Amino acid sequence: MRNYDLTPLYRSAIGFDRLAQLAEHAASNKGNSGYPPYNIELLNDTRYRITMAVAGFAMDELDITSEGDKLLVKGTKAEQDKERKYLYQGIAERGFERTFQLADYVTVIGANLENGLLNVDLERKIPEALKPRKIDISTSRMIDSE
C-alpha cells in the first residue's frame, strides 16, 4: 500500500483529520471478504440504501447492529438437522459479518428482507445548528474598541 502525504489537505481543510484514519481503516479491512455481495445506493440527497444478497438466510438468522459510527450486519446459519450429500454446492451456506463505517449524522431508519435481499435504509440528518446560514453584513461596527 502506498503512503500518501495528506499535509496539504490539512493546511486548507479544518476538521478532516479523520480522513486518514478512515482511509487506513478501509485499506486494512480484512474482515470484510466479498461475501455476501452488496450494493450501496443513493436514493436522494439525504437517504441511502444498502442491499445485501442473503439468499438462504431466514429473518431470525440475521442481526443488524448500529453503534456510533459503525453498522454491523451479521448472518448466522442454523445447524442443519441432516447431512446433505451435494454433487455440486455453489450456494454459500456460511455465516458472515459485514461492517460499514457511517459518516457523521447518518442513522439507520429501517430494514426489510424480501426475495433474498436485505435492504437497510439510512438517512443523513444534519442538525439545524450545523446547516449553512446566511450572515448579514452591516455598515456599523458591532464591537467597539476600548
Q: How far apart are CA 105 and CA 86, in angstroms?
A: 47
Determine the average pLDDT of the residues in 28-57.
Answer: 85
Q: How far apart are CA 139 and CA 20, in angstroms?
A: 43
Strands of 12-61 (E only): list them: 38-42, 47-53
Q: How far apart are CA 20 and CA 99, in angstroms?
A: 18
In a domain, residue 139? The reply is no
**pLDDT exceeds cutoff 90 at 29:** no
Range of the domain at 73: 36-130
**pLDDT exceeds cutoff 80 at 98:** yes
Q: How far apart are CA 50 and CA 114, in angstroms?
A: 13
Total residues found in the chain within this entry: 146
* Domain CATH for 94: 2.60.40.790
pLDDT grade, residue 24 (50/70/90)?
low
What's the confidence (pLDDT) of residue 69? Answer: 87
In a domain, residue 135? The reply is no
Overall pTM > 0.85: no
In a domain, residue 23? The reply is no
In a domain, residue 114? The reply is yes
